[in-house]
Structure 1
Amino acid sequence: MPGGETALEQEIRTRLGAELGALDVPDAAERRRVLLDLLRSWLDGEGGEELAALTARAGSAGDSVRAVYQLRLSRVVAMVMPAMPGEQEERARRAWAVVATVVGAVSVSRALADSVHRGAVREAALRSVEALVAGE
Protein backbone atom coordinates (compact mmCIF):
# COMPACT_ATOMS: atom_id res chain seq x y z
CA MET A 1 0.00 0.00 0.00
CA PRO A 2 2.73 2.51 -0.96
CA GLY A 3 0.29 5.21 -2.13
CA GLY A 4 -1.67 5.02 1.12
CA GLU A 5 1.49 5.20 3.17
CA THR A 6 2.67 8.23 1.21
CA ALA A 7 -0.66 9.94 1.94
CA LEU A 8 -0.36 9.05 5.63
CA GLU A 9 3.19 10.39 5.72
CA GLN A 10 1.95 13.68 4.27
CA GLU A 11 -0.93 13.81 6.73
CA ILE A 12 1.47 13.27 9.63
CA ARG A 13 3.82 15.98 8.32
CA THR A 14 1.07 18.56 7.98
CA ARG A 15 -1.25 17.77 10.89
CA LEU A 16 0.77 16.35 13.77
CA GLY A 17 1.45 19.23 16.14
CA ALA A 18 0.40 21.96 13.72
CA GLU A 19 -1.23 23.94 16.53
CA LEU A 20 1.98 24.11 18.56
CA GLY A 21 3.05 27.36 16.91
CA ALA A 22 1.03 29.02 19.68
CA LEU A 23 3.82 28.05 22.09
CA ASP A 24 6.21 30.46 20.42
CA VAL A 25 5.99 33.12 23.13
CA PRO A 26 9.03 34.59 24.90
CA ASP A 27 7.67 34.59 28.47
CA ALA A 28 8.08 31.21 30.20
CA ALA A 29 4.98 31.58 32.38
CA GLU A 30 2.86 32.51 29.37
CA ARG A 31 4.31 29.58 27.41
CA ARG A 32 3.28 27.21 30.22
CA ARG A 33 -0.21 28.73 30.33
CA VAL A 34 -0.60 28.36 26.56
CA LEU A 35 0.69 24.77 26.73
CA LEU A 36 -1.79 23.84 29.47
CA ASP A 37 -4.64 25.37 27.45
CA LEU A 38 -3.52 23.35 24.44
CA LEU A 39 -3.22 20.14 26.48
CA ARG A 40 -6.72 20.69 27.91
CA SER A 41 -8.07 21.08 24.39
CA TRP A 42 -6.25 17.91 23.29
CA LEU A 43 -7.78 15.99 26.20
CA ASP A 44 -11.25 17.45 25.66
CA GLY A 45 -11.48 17.85 21.92
CA GLU A 46 -10.56 16.90 18.43
CA GLY A 47 -6.86 17.75 18.64
CA GLY A 48 -6.22 14.84 20.97
CA GLU A 49 -8.48 12.56 18.95
CA GLU A 50 -6.51 13.37 15.82
CA LEU A 51 -3.20 12.84 17.61
CA ALA A 52 -4.33 9.46 18.94
CA ALA A 53 -5.71 8.42 15.55
CA LEU A 54 -2.50 9.37 13.72
CA THR A 55 -0.50 7.50 16.37
CA ALA A 56 -2.58 4.34 15.91
CA ARG A 57 -2.36 4.52 12.12
CA ALA A 58 1.40 5.13 12.19
CA GLY A 59 1.87 2.24 14.61
CA SER A 60 0.39 -0.21 12.15
CA ALA A 61 2.10 1.25 9.08
CA GLY A 62 5.45 0.52 7.49
CA ASP A 63 8.86 1.79 8.48
CA SER A 64 8.78 4.88 6.26
CA VAL A 65 5.58 6.13 7.90
CA ARG A 66 6.90 5.37 11.36
CA ALA A 67 10.10 7.27 10.59
CA VAL A 68 8.07 10.32 9.55
CA TYR A 69 5.91 9.97 12.67
CA GLN A 70 9.01 9.71 14.88
CA LEU A 71 10.52 12.83 13.34
CA ARG A 72 7.28 14.80 13.67
CA LEU A 73 6.62 13.65 17.24
CA SER A 74 10.21 14.54 18.16
CA ARG A 75 9.50 18.04 16.84
CA VAL A 76 6.33 18.19 18.93
CA VAL A 77 8.36 17.28 22.00
CA ALA A 78 10.99 19.90 21.08
CA MET A 79 8.24 22.53 20.92
CA VAL A 80 6.85 21.47 24.30
CA MET A 81 10.26 21.35 26.03
CA PRO A 82 10.74 25.11 26.57
CA ALA A 83 7.55 25.16 28.65
CA MET A 84 8.97 22.54 31.02
CA PRO A 85 10.92 23.35 34.17
CA GLY A 86 14.44 22.12 34.82
CA GLU A 87 17.62 21.61 32.87
CA GLN A 88 17.66 20.37 29.27
CA GLU A 89 17.56 16.64 30.07
CA GLU A 90 14.78 17.10 32.64
CA ARG A 91 12.75 19.26 30.23
CA ALA A 92 13.08 16.57 27.55
CA ARG A 93 11.95 13.85 29.96
CA ARG A 94 8.96 15.90 31.07
CA ALA A 95 7.99 16.84 27.51
CA TRP A 96 8.04 13.19 26.39
CA ALA A 97 5.99 12.25 29.46
CA VAL A 98 3.42 14.96 28.71
CA VAL A 99 3.01 13.94 25.08
CA ALA A 100 2.89 10.21 25.89
CA THR A 101 0.38 10.78 28.70
CA VAL A 102 -1.97 12.75 26.48
CA VAL A 103 -1.76 10.30 23.57
CA GLY A 104 -2.23 7.35 25.92
CA ALA A 105 -5.13 8.89 27.78
CA VAL A 106 -6.98 9.81 24.61
CA SER A 107 -6.32 6.36 23.11
CA VAL A 108 -7.58 4.57 26.22
CA SER A 109 -10.60 6.82 26.67
CA ARG A 110 -11.62 6.33 23.03
CA ALA A 111 -11.86 2.59 23.70
CA LEU A 112 -14.14 2.94 26.74
CA ALA A 113 -17.90 2.62 26.37
CA ASP A 114 -18.87 4.65 29.42
CA SER A 115 -18.55 8.45 29.27
CA VAL A 116 -17.89 8.64 33.02
CA HIS A 117 -14.85 6.41 32.67
CA ARG A 118 -13.68 8.29 29.57
CA GLY A 119 -13.88 11.54 31.52
CA ALA A 120 -12.05 10.05 34.50
CA VAL A 121 -9.15 8.89 32.31
CA ARG A 122 -8.81 12.28 30.65
CA GLU A 123 -9.11 14.15 33.96
CA ALA A 124 -6.42 11.98 35.56
CA ALA A 125 -4.14 12.62 32.59
CA LEU A 126 -4.77 16.36 32.81
CA ARG A 127 -3.82 16.40 36.49
CA SER A 128 -0.65 14.44 35.69
CA VAL A 129 0.46 16.76 32.89
CA GLU A 130 -0.35 19.84 35.01
CA ALA A 131 2.00 18.46 37.66
CA LEU A 132 4.73 17.81 35.09
CA VAL A 133 4.44 21.33 33.69
CA ALA A 134 4.45 22.79 37.22
CA GLY A 135 7.63 20.91 38.11
CA GLU A 136 6.07 18.58 40.64
Structure 2
Amino acid sequence: MPVVEAGFVVLDCAEPEKLAVFYKEFMDAEETDASANRVEIRGADGTRLAFRRDVNATPPSWPRPENSLQAHLEFVVTDLDEAERKVVELGGRPLETKDASGPFETRGYADPAGHSFTLRRVTPTAPKQG
Protein backbone atom coordinates (compact mmCIF):
# COMPACT_ATOMS: atom_id res chain seq x y z
CA MET A 1 0.00 0.00 0.00
CA PRO A 2 1.48 3.37 -0.98
CA VAL A 3 2.18 5.95 1.68
CA VAL A 4 0.93 8.81 -0.50
CA GLU A 5 -2.58 8.38 -1.88
CA ALA A 6 -2.86 11.67 -3.80
CA GLY A 7 -0.90 14.84 -4.36
CA PHE A 8 -2.29 18.35 -4.76
CA VAL A 9 -0.99 21.76 -5.66
CA VAL A 10 -2.66 24.00 -3.08
CA LEU A 11 -3.27 27.69 -3.71
CA ASP A 12 -4.02 29.96 -0.76
CA CYS A 13 -6.68 32.58 -1.46
CA ALA A 14 -9.38 34.63 0.26
CA GLU A 15 -12.27 32.96 -1.60
CA PRO A 16 -11.53 29.31 -2.47
CA GLU A 17 -15.02 28.69 -3.87
CA LYS A 18 -14.65 31.44 -6.48
CA LEU A 19 -11.10 30.46 -7.45
CA ALA A 20 -12.16 26.81 -7.79
CA VAL A 21 -14.84 27.86 -10.29
CA PHE A 22 -12.19 29.62 -12.43
CA TYR A 23 -9.99 26.52 -12.60
CA LYS A 24 -12.92 24.08 -12.94
CA GLU A 25 -14.16 25.97 -15.99
CA PHE A 26 -10.70 26.42 -17.50
CA MET A 27 -9.59 22.81 -16.97
CA ASP A 28 -12.99 21.17 -17.54
CA ALA A 29 -12.51 19.75 -14.04
CA GLU A 30 -14.79 18.33 -11.40
CA GLU A 31 -15.03 19.21 -7.74
CA THR A 32 -13.94 16.24 -5.66
CA ASP A 33 -14.23 17.62 -2.12
CA ALA A 34 -15.20 20.83 -0.38
CA SER A 35 -15.32 22.12 3.16
CA ALA A 36 -15.67 25.57 4.72
CA ASN A 37 -12.00 26.37 4.09
CA ARG A 38 -10.91 24.17 1.18
CA VAL A 39 -12.10 23.09 -2.26
CA GLU A 40 -10.45 20.31 -4.26
CA ILE A 41 -10.79 19.66 -7.99
CA ARG A 42 -9.49 17.10 -10.48
CA GLY A 43 -9.01 17.89 -14.16
CA ALA A 44 -9.88 15.51 -16.97
CA ASP A 45 -6.15 14.68 -17.25
CA GLY A 46 -5.92 13.82 -13.54
CA THR A 47 -4.34 17.10 -12.38
CA ARG A 48 -5.40 17.83 -8.80
CA LEU A 49 -5.64 21.32 -7.39
CA ALA A 50 -6.89 22.55 -4.03
CA PHE A 51 -7.80 26.04 -2.89
CA ARG A 52 -7.35 26.89 0.80
CA ARG A 53 -8.96 29.82 2.53
CA ASP A 54 -6.48 32.38 3.86
CA VAL A 55 -8.25 35.65 4.65
CA ASN A 56 -4.87 37.43 4.68
CA ALA A 57 -3.73 36.07 1.31
CA THR A 58 -2.01 38.58 -0.95
CA PRO A 59 -1.38 37.93 -4.64
CA PRO A 60 2.17 37.13 -5.71
CA SER A 61 3.95 40.06 -7.35
CA TRP A 62 5.57 38.19 -10.24
CA PRO A 63 6.77 39.28 -12.79
CA ARG A 64 8.08 42.34 -10.93
CA PRO A 65 11.87 42.06 -10.70
CA GLU A 66 12.06 42.56 -6.92
CA ASN A 67 10.47 39.15 -6.30
CA SER A 68 11.53 35.85 -7.81
CA LEU A 69 8.98 33.41 -9.17
CA GLN A 70 8.71 30.70 -6.51
CA ALA A 71 6.25 28.39 -8.23
CA HIS A 72 3.55 28.57 -10.84
CA LEU A 73 1.13 26.32 -12.66
CA GLU A 74 1.71 25.39 -16.27
CA PHE A 75 -0.97 24.16 -18.67
CA VAL A 76 -0.25 22.62 -22.07
CA VAL A 77 -2.75 23.82 -24.68
CA THR A 78 -3.23 23.27 -28.39
CA ASP A 79 -4.27 26.84 -29.25
CA LEU A 80 -2.78 29.73 -27.26
CA ASP A 81 -5.20 32.33 -28.60
CA GLU A 82 -8.27 30.24 -27.76
CA ALA A 83 -6.91 29.43 -24.29
CA GLU A 84 -6.15 33.12 -23.68
CA ARG A 85 -9.70 34.11 -24.62
CA LYS A 86 -11.06 31.56 -22.13
CA VAL A 87 -8.71 32.74 -19.35
CA VAL A 88 -9.78 36.36 -19.82
CA GLU A 89 -13.47 35.41 -20.13
CA LEU A 90 -13.21 33.59 -16.78
CA GLY A 91 -11.59 36.56 -15.02
CA GLY A 92 -7.87 35.90 -15.47
CA ARG A 93 -5.48 38.50 -16.87
CA PRO A 94 -2.38 38.42 -19.05
CA LEU A 95 0.96 39.04 -17.34
CA GLU A 96 3.29 38.37 -20.21
CA THR A 97 1.99 37.36 -23.63
CA LYS A 98 5.09 37.62 -25.76
CA ASP A 99 6.16 34.38 -27.39
CA ALA A 100 9.28 32.74 -26.00
CA SER A 101 12.03 31.59 -28.32
CA GLY A 102 12.81 27.92 -28.67
CA PRO A 103 10.57 24.90 -29.21
CA PHE A 104 7.83 26.19 -26.90
CA GLU A 105 5.42 29.07 -27.15
CA THR A 106 4.43 30.35 -23.71
CA ARG A 107 2.31 33.12 -22.25
CA GLY A 108 1.99 34.16 -18.62
CA TYR A 109 -1.27 34.94 -16.80
CA ALA A 110 -2.71 35.55 -13.35
CA ASP A 111 -5.88 33.90 -12.08
CA PRO A 112 -8.58 36.08 -10.42
CA ALA A 113 -6.75 35.83 -7.06
CA GLY A 114 -3.39 36.82 -8.59
CA HIS A 115 -1.60 33.42 -8.77
CA SER A 116 0.59 33.15 -11.83
CA PHE A 117 0.34 30.39 -14.39
CA THR A 118 1.66 29.72 -17.85
CA LEU A 119 -0.01 28.44 -20.99
CA ARG A 120 2.42 26.44 -23.11
CA ARG A 121 2.08 25.07 -26.60
CA VAL A 122 4.64 22.67 -27.97
CA THR A 123 5.52 23.64 -31.50
CA PRO A 124 4.89 20.64 -33.74
CA THR A 125 7.96 19.41 -35.55
CA ALA A 126 8.05 17.58 -38.86
CA PRO A 127 9.30 13.98 -38.76
CA LYS A 128 12.87 13.41 -39.92
CA GLN A 129 13.15 12.57 -43.58
CA GLY A 130 15.44 9.83 -44.90
* TM-score by shorter chain over 0.5: no
Class of the TM-score when normalised by the shorter of the 2 chains: under 0.3
The structure with the greater share of residues assigned to strand is: 2
Q: Which structure carries more relative contact order (alpha carbon 8 Å, separation 6+)?
A: 1
- Higher Cα Rg: structure 1 or 2? 2
User: Which structure shows the higher helix fraction?
Assistant: 1
